[in-house]
């Protein structure tokens, strides 16, 4: 039986735990499951056995997430196309995922960089550099010697993403990109892109998008215009704005759907005032983090 005081303390750590779990797994659903499981495990432990509740819960969540990471690695082996982290999509309301979305460490570029790491590298980087967990404790979580954890951490630190821009700069760059798309101006779309821009789509073979990461401003501009025309004109999907991992993005919804849930989400990373990366989240099964109401 969990005391009301301990229950309140757990709730005070929920946003922190969700941030840890999301950064470790890249999945909203897995993150929420891990936090819920940590609650159940806490309920089965006598309070006298927990010296530092935040540290204890962080370790428990990390152990649970390692299992999720390993199962995700198996799923990726047969996944069609690119594998992107699940986006956190929020509207005007306030929900439990909002603090996670506002965490700059959970911006899309940072999350995509984490996806390139092995589970040990990801766990070592997130826990040590992100949350100050000692290497010895990370070794116990991963069942690895401290030296191996240190090596994994060193590799993980090479996964560098551009620093997030301010919201105003991000919004202005996205608006220039969208205005050019709406006008059908392929040169304007290209001009809104960073010279090193990339376009990545994650559909899991369920719907059309780029199977490989696309580079080159002219190629991306033509691809973006083609998708824009197809989904808004031919498929009559509705376009709306939303916050995607803390910064402005887009949602496409099917007006014939009774629940109005997004069928596609577009997120962006801006660097040097231009679109540095565009992310097309088109696998509905990976949109559990879309909470617009």
The answer to whether the CB of 215 falls within 8 A of the CB of 197 is yes
pLDDT at 2: 65
List CB contacts of 203: < 8 A, sequence separation 6 or more: 80, 81, 209, 280, 282, 283
pLDDT at 144: 95
pLDDT at 258: 67
pLDDT of residue 38: 95
Structure tokens at 37: 């499981």
What is the mean pLDDT of each successive set of 10 residues along the chain, which is 293 residues long? Answer: 78 94 95 95 82 92 93 88 94 78 94 94 96 95 96 93 94 97 96 98 88 96 91 78 94 80 92 97 89 69
Using CA atoms, how far residue 57 sits from 11, 50, 51, 138, 222, in Å, is: 11, 9, 11, 14, 48
> Please, are residues 186 and 222 in contact by the beta-carbon 8 Å criterion?
yes
- State residue 203's pLDDT score: 92
Quick check: helix, strand or coil at residue 247?
A: strand
Q: What pLDDT, on the 0 to 100 scale, is given for residue 49?
A: 79
| pTM: predicted TM-score of the whole model, two decimal places | 0.93
- What is the per-residue pLDDT for 257? 74
Q: What digits encode the pLDDT tens for the residues 159-187?
A: 888 988 999 999 999 999 999 999 999 99
Confidence (pLDDT) at 293: 61
Q: What is the rounded CA–CA span in Å between residue 151 and residue 110?
A: 20
Per-residue model confidence (pLDDT) at position 12: 93
Residue 289's pLDDT is what?
A: 80
User: Rounded to whole angstroms, how far apart are CA atoms 34 and 13?
Assistant: 13
């Amino acid at each position: 039986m969990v005391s009301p005081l301990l229950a309140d303390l757990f709730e005070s750590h929920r946003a922190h735990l969700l941030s840890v779990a999301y950064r470790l797994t890249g999945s909203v659903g897995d993150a929420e499951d891990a936090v819920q499981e940590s609650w159940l495990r806490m309920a089965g432990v006598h309070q006298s056995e927990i010296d530092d509740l935040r540290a204890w819960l962080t370790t428990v969540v990390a152990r649970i997430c390692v299992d999720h990471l390993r199962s995700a690695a198996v799923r990726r082996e047969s996944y069609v196309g690119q594998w992107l982290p699940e986006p956190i999509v929020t509207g005007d309301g306030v929900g439990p995922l909002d603090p996670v979305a506002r965490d700059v460490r959970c911006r899309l570029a940072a999350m995509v960089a984490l996806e390139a790491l092995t589970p040990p590298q990801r766990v070592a980087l997130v826990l040590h550099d992100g949350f100050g967990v000692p290497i010895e404790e990370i070794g116990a979580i991963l069942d690895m010697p401290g030296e191996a954890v240190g090596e994994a951490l060193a590799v993980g630190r090479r996964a560098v993403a551009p620093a997030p821009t301010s919201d105003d700069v991000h919004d202005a760059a996205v608006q220039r990109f969208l205005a050019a798309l709406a006008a059908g101006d392929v040169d304007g779309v290209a001009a809104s892109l960073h010279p090193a821009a990339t376009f990545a789509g994650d559909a899991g073979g369920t719907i059309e998008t780029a199977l490989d990461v696309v580079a080159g401003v002219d190629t991306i501009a033509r691809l973006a215009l083609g998708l824009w025309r197809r989904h808004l004109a031919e498929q009559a999907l509705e376009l709306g704005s939303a916050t995607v991992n803390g910064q402005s993005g887009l949602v496409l919804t099917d007006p014939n759907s009774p629940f109005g849930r997004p069928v596609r989400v577009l997120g962006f990373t801006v660097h040097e005032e231009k679109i540095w990366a565009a992310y097309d989240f088109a696998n509905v099964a990976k949109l559990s983090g879309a909470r617009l109401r």
